[in-house]
Amino acid sequence: MQIFNKSFITRSLMVFSVISLLSGCGTPKASQTTIQPEEEGPPTLKQEFSIKAQDGGAITLKPADGSLIKIIFPQGSLESDSDLEVAERTDRGDEVLSNGFSLNRKGSEEGPALKYPAILVFTLDKEVPKEASIVRYKEGGAFDVIPTRVASKDGKTSLIAQVDHFSDYGTRLVDPGAIQSAKDSQESTDFNWVIYSQDSYDIDAGAMKRKVKLDFKAVNASGDIAGEYKGYAHATTANDMDIGDGGVTADSSVNDDNVSFTLEPYVELADLVERDDDLANLEPEKMPDLMGQGSLNMSGAGSGTVSARGRTYSAGLKVQDSHDAMTVVVTGPLVRLTVTVNGIGTMYFDGYIRGEGK
Kindly report, residue by residue over 328-341, the tens digit of the pLDDT.
Answer: 999 999 999 999 98
- The per-residue DSSP string of 94-120 comes to TTEEEEEEEEEETTSSSPPPBSS-EEE
Q: Rounded to whole angstroms, how far apart are CA atoms 32 and 51? A: 11
The pLDDT value given to residue 282: 54
Residue 36 domain flag: no
CA-to-CA separations, 275 to 80, 272, 279, 326, in angstroms, rounded? 40, 6, 8, 18
Same domain flag for 219 and 314: yes
In one letter, which amino acid is 154? D
Same domain for 50 and 178?
yes
Q: Which of 136, 164, 184 is the last residue of a domain?
A: 184
- Is 78 within a domain? yes
Name the residue with higher pLDDT: 308 or 126.
126
Beta pairing class for 191-205 and 132-137: unpaired
User: Tens digit of pLDDT for each residue in 34-81?
Assistant: 333 333 333 447 899 999 999 999 999 999 999 999 999 999 999 999
Residue at 93 is within a domain? yes
Confidence of residue 242 (pLDDT cuts 50, 70, 90): confident
Instruction: Provide the domain limits for residue 330.
Output: 6-26+190-357
Buried b (16+ CB within 10 A) or exposed e, 124-154: beeebeeebbbbbbeeeeebebbbbbbbbee
Rounded CA Rg of the chain: 25
Choice between 1 and 308, residue whose per-residue pLDDT is larger = 308
Same domain, 110 and 205: no
Q: What is the structure's pLDDT at 336?
A: 93
Instruction: Select, from the ranges 282-291, 296-305, 347-356, the one with the highest average predicted confidence (pLDDT).
Output: 347-356
Q: Are residues 151 and 173 in the same domain?
A: yes
Please indicate, yes or no, whether residues 130 and 201 belong to a single structural domain of this protein: no
The predicted pLDDT at position 187 comes to: 73
Query: 154 and 253 share a domain?
Result: no
pLDDT at res. 316: 80
- 339/336 Cα distance (integer angstroms): 10
- We report the CATH number of the domain holding residue 232 as 2.40.160
pLDDT greater at residue 310 or residue 7: 310
- The residue out of 129, 158, 184 marking a domain boundary is 184
- More confident site: 75 or 29: 75
Residue 250 and residue 172 share a domain: no
Domain shared by 197 and 255, yes or no: yes
Gap between the Cα atoms of 67 and 4, Å rounded = 69
**Domain count of the fold of the chain:** 2
- Rounded Cα distance between 338 and 151, Å, is 23
Residue 40 lies in a domain: no
| pLDDT surpassing 90 at residue 204 | no
Q: Are residues 163 and 196 in the same domain?
A: no
Q: Tell me, what CATH number does 124's domain have?
A: 2.60.220.30
Residue 285's pLDDT band, with cuts at 50, 70 and 90, is low
Q: Are 176 and 73 members of one domain?
A: yes
In this predicted structure, what is the pLDDT of residue 284? 63
- The answer to whether residue 12 scores a pLDDT higher than 50 is no
Identity of residue 243 = I
Asked which of 14-18, 91-95, 134-138, 251-255 is least confident by mean pLDDT, the reply is: 14-18
355: part of which helix (H) or strand (E)?
A: strand 345-357
